[in-house]
Amino acid sequence: MEITRIQPAGLVVSPAFSHVAIVPPGAATIYVGGQNGVDDTGAVVSDDVAEQSVRTIDNVSVALEAAGATLADVVQWTVLLVEDADLGAAYGAIAPRLAGPGVPPLVTAARVAGLGVPGALIEVSAIAAVVPA
């Protein structure tokens, strides 16, 4: 039993994302709500989007670990980036961690006017699945 990620013929093929994921019955599904580049007190770690992005993925990793999963178990990422933030710097800092091993997960990304946390430039949520051994 495993999670199958598909890049179907007729859709763009990208090393950064897949289009479809099939999670088998019996897998545990884990939802991680939006995480920002904040420390454990809720303070934004920097005004630099790359630093915030790294901390954001670190925070997602902590949340996943609490549920018995890792970044490699992520099936789908949602990435919100404030519209004037440097997209290249943000993705450059985190892209290898989003992709994981093998066929990449699904990714939805959007530019937004602002986020709920003042000073936050990025927010990331994730859906992961863990297949029992």
User: Minimum mean pLDDT among 3-7, 57-61, 85-89: which range?
Assistant: 3-7
Contact 61, 32 (CB under 8 A): no
Q: What is the mean pLDDT of the segment spanning 53-76?
A: 97
Report the C-alpha gap between 124 and 43 in whole angstroms: 16
List Cβ neighbours of 119 (8 Å cut-off, separation of 6 or more).
44, 47
User: Minimum mean pLDDT among 15-19, 52-56, 83-87: which range?
Assistant: 15-19
Q: pTM to 2 decimals?
A: 0.93
